[in-house]
Amino acid sequence: MEIYKDKNFTIDDRTEDLLSRMTIEEKIGQMLQVSYNVLDKNEYENYKNLGIGSFLHVLGSEADDIRDKAAKTRLGIPPLFGIDAIHGHALLNGATVFPSQLAMSCSFNRSLIREMGRATAREVAADGLDWTFSPVLCIARDLRWGRVDETFGEDSYVIGELGKAIIEGYECDNLIIACAKHYIAYGEATGGRDAYDCSVTERKVRDIFLPPFKKASDAGCGSVMTAYGSIDTLPLTVNKRMMREILKDEIGFEGFVVTDWENIKSLVTKQRAAKDIKEASKKAVEAGNDMSMNTHEFYNCMLELVKENQIDIKLIDDAVRRILKIKFRLKLFDGKDKIDKNIIGCSEHKKINHELSRESLVLLKNDNVLPIEKEKIKKIAVIGPNADDIRAQYGDWTYFSHPEPKKHVQPKGEYYTVLRGIKETFGEDKVLYNKGCDIFGDENYIKKAVKIAKKADAVVCVIGDCLAQNGEYRDRANLDLSGYQEELVKALVETGKKVIAVLINCKPLCISYIKEHCGAVIEMFNGGDFGGLAAAELISGKFNPSGKLSVSFPQHGAQTPCYYNQYSGWHGGQYVDLQKGNVYDFADGLSYSKFEYSNLKLSRHTVPNGGAITVSVDISNTGDMDGKEIAMLFVKDVVSSVLTPEKQLKGFEKVFIKKGETKTVTFKLKTDDLAIVTTDLKYVVESGDFEIMVGANTKEYLTETLTVL
């Protein structure tokens, strides 16, 4: 009896049955993932007929063809189709493009991010695909790194919480699996150099970088992707300690591990850590990689290794078992649940997207400029290189940039740049527009921009960066506004108008001048389809802003890393040639209301090790607009055997509070949450005092002391 074909058996039984029927060629085939664009046509066709494990970057109709061919192979094992649906299924023109991970993290809204994940999964599945290479759980601590936009910001706790939420959303209907990446400490590369070595220790990995992956694994995340880089000179691709021992054996991750793009080949061609692909393949599988993304030589090399008895067949079985289990979990053998293609870009998803764009915006400064009542102004000037550039607004990982750059493609879905948003919100006849300058280059139109600014009652200037300055292979040393952007803002400020700066950028930039001289500052990052509408609605007061920064803004590129959870002990605590502190800090963000915190209470002030307490605080909305507030709980371990941060986030809650009302917000805090990683790599809660700080941000909070016995 072919148990593997029968739905009535358990996934484990079906997997073991199938595994027992497979030849070594079929098993190794499952461990290979092929991209549609790296092979010559004949080789590609060959892989389709061979029945290999997975394809990536293939869209809808082509997936059907590959699926049909796989069905005709001896065992008919369906392939798994992976895609970079990083902020929506955005490699497909017409699908919903959500704000980038960095933008959406500023919403601090777990449930909305869960909904975004679910909507993305439905669009990916409707297109016939099964697997998104998302979320990125890297930590954006060196802002020079090109991939800051792909992260949930600078804090390990926030990343873990939002990572868990998005994974739950992706996987809740069992339509697709998620991929927690890039394992591990990839963003911490020395000098912010993409894919370069980083010098963290295992203690630091456990303390800072591992917790988000543990949360992802506990949430049932189907896959993990190996990082490109190396830790203390050992490439992650061959890091058995990190992958096999810590991720799989210790944490108990049950999904499978896929390498990043050509990681196995890079061991030979870039990192010089193996003499040939055969040796690289052996090392990679022994370290715990279950699937090779590209490096298609892997297939023949593995066959040779088996023939020569150079690799333990148990490792191959373990890898294939993990991959097959996911295929059964997604019901690929049973005719996966069909999702109507019409849900791609549907109104329900647009609604979630619009809401997420609104909650992702961060109002950083408001010198009594906002909101602007539509009726009170006759003309509004919209100026700046990013005011009407949907490419810059989308950021990375859309059909504009992947799988290969396309310059002239027209978006099929509905989208709002800030210019369109302002026109629709304030009335087209009121709007004057000029680009002012480009992101790069010698040309500028500042004189023309100044001319229209002078005619207007309100001036909105949309600046930032563009994709050429961000992404893989694109790290920056200089984080200043490029080109003529600062000159443009200066010229507008000199008109005497209170300039409203809107920032559309993939990462924090150095904006001291903007902070000091503009009347209002709004950070969007990459806002997706509705970013421009949401910004216009914020300006007009149609909703009350509630986002806060998930990442800090330095004064100068060389001030990075500038994350909030630093250790104490820096002599002087600042660079002698800069002022103290950042331009904006993690958790900064204003509302049109005012929220006052009072009555911080701990359910008990002493707690035995292993116990838990509740922390509560009252928050009153004393403004005259209903609004949402994000309450933050930070902890300081007063005395610890290793350095601990001055403040470490351990909880956040976003609450809606009507004007004039007070709400009590409670957090649960376990003593386990206070554990440190000791130098001998143990998780220990050291007895003593902990300051418990609850408030709006890193500067305004109430404090109580908790003693752990």
Instruction: Please state the φ and ψ torsions of residue 195, each to the nearest 5 degrees.
Output: 75, 10
Q: In angstroms, give the least distance from the CB of 261 to ligand NOJ.
A: 4
Beta strands in 380-481 (DSSP E): 380-383, 431-434, 458-464
Distance, in Å, from the CA atom of 588 to the CA atom of 600, rounded to the nearest integer, reads: 21
Q: In angstroms, give the least distance from the CB of 84 to ligand NOJ.
A: 5
Sheet holding 179-183, edge to edge: 179-183, 223-226, 256-258
Residue with Cβ nearer ligand NOJ (123 or 260): 260
Q: Tell me which DSSP letter residue 484 carries.
A: T
Q: In angstroms, give the least distance from the CB of 302 to ligand NOJ.
A: 21
- Per CB under 6 A, which of residues 126..145 are in contact with ligand NOJ? 133
Strand partners, 54: 33, 80
Residue with Cβ nearer ligand NOJ (38 or 684): 38
Q: Which residues contact 682 (CB under 8 A, 6 or more apart)?
A: none
Residue with Cβ nearer ligand NOJ (9 or 261): 261
Q: How many CB atoms lie within 10 A of CB 580?
A: 9
**Binding of residue 261 to ligand NOJ (CB under 6 A):** yes
Using left for φ > 0, alpha for ψ between -120 and 50, and beta otherwise, residue 233 falls in left
Please classify residue 640 by burial: count the beta carbons closer than 10 Å to its beta carbon, then call 0-12 exposed, 13-18 middle and 19+ buried.
middle
Q: In angstroms, give the least distance from the CB of 686 to ligand NOJ.
A: 37
Residue with Cβ nearer ligand NOJ (424 or 472): 472
Spell out, one character per residue from 460 to 499, where the chain touches ligand NOJ: x when CB under 6 A holds, - when not: ------------x---------------------------
- Locus of tokens 């039984």: 13
Q: In angstroms, give the least distance from the CB of 563 to ligand NOJ.
A: 22
**Binding of residue 181 to ligand NOJ (CB under 6 A):** yes
- Three-class HEC string of 649-705: EEEEEEEEECCCCEEEEEEEEEHHHHCEECCCCCEECCCEEEEEEEECCCCCEEEEE
Straight-line distance from the first to the last Cα atom of the chain, in angstroms, rounded to the nearest whole number: 60
Among 127, 260, 396, 529, interactor with ligand NOJ by CB under 6 A: 260
Distance, in Å, from the CA atom of 705 to the CA atom of 702, rounded to the nearest integer, reads: 10
Q: How many CB atoms lie within 10 A of CB 193?
A: 15
Distances (CA, A) of 251 to 115, 212, 244, 638, 700: 27, 12, 10, 29, 36
**Binding of residue 248 to ligand NOJ (CB under 6 A):** no
The DSSP element (H or E) to which 33 belongs, if any, is strand 32-35
- Per CB under 6 A, which of residues 46..105 are in contact with ligand NOJ? 84
622 contacts 595 by C-beta, under 8 angstroms: yes
**Binding of residue 396 to ligand NOJ (CB under 6 A):** no
Residue with Cβ nearer ligand NOJ (472 or 689): 472
Q: In angstroms, give the least distance from the CB of 641 to ligand NOJ.
A: 37
3-class SS of residue 299: helix
Q: In angstroms, give the least distance from the CB of 257 to ligand NOJ.
A: 13
- 84 assigned to active site: no
Distances (CA, A) of 312 to 242, 324, 353: 20, 19, 48
- Per CB under 6 A, which of residues 666..695 are in contact with ligand NOJ? none
The alpha helices in 270-332, defined as continuous H runs, are 277-287, 298-307, 313-329
Residue with Cβ nearer ligand NOJ (194 or 537): 194
266 contacts 238 by C-beta, under 8 angstroms: no
Residue with Cβ nearer ligand NOJ (207 or 260): 260
Distance, in Å, from the CA atom of 600 to the CA atom of 60, rounded to the nearest integer, reads: 53
Q: In angstroms, give the least distance from the CB of 90 to ligand NOJ.
A: 13
Residue with Cβ nearer ligand NOJ (260 or 537): 260
Residue with Cβ nearer ligand NOJ (84 or 207): 84
Distance, in Å, from the CA atom of 595 to the CA atom of 586, rounded to the nearest integer, reads: 18
Catalytic-labelled residue, pool 149, 260, 290, 585: 260
- Locus of tokens 């690799």: 311
418 contacts 460 by C-beta, under 8 angstroms: yes
Q: In angstroms, give the least distance from the CB of 182 to ligand NOJ.
A: 6
**Binding of residue 207 to ligand NOJ (CB under 6 A):** no
Catalytic residue IDs:
260
Binding site for ligand NOJ (CB under 6 A): 84, 133, 181, 260-261, 472
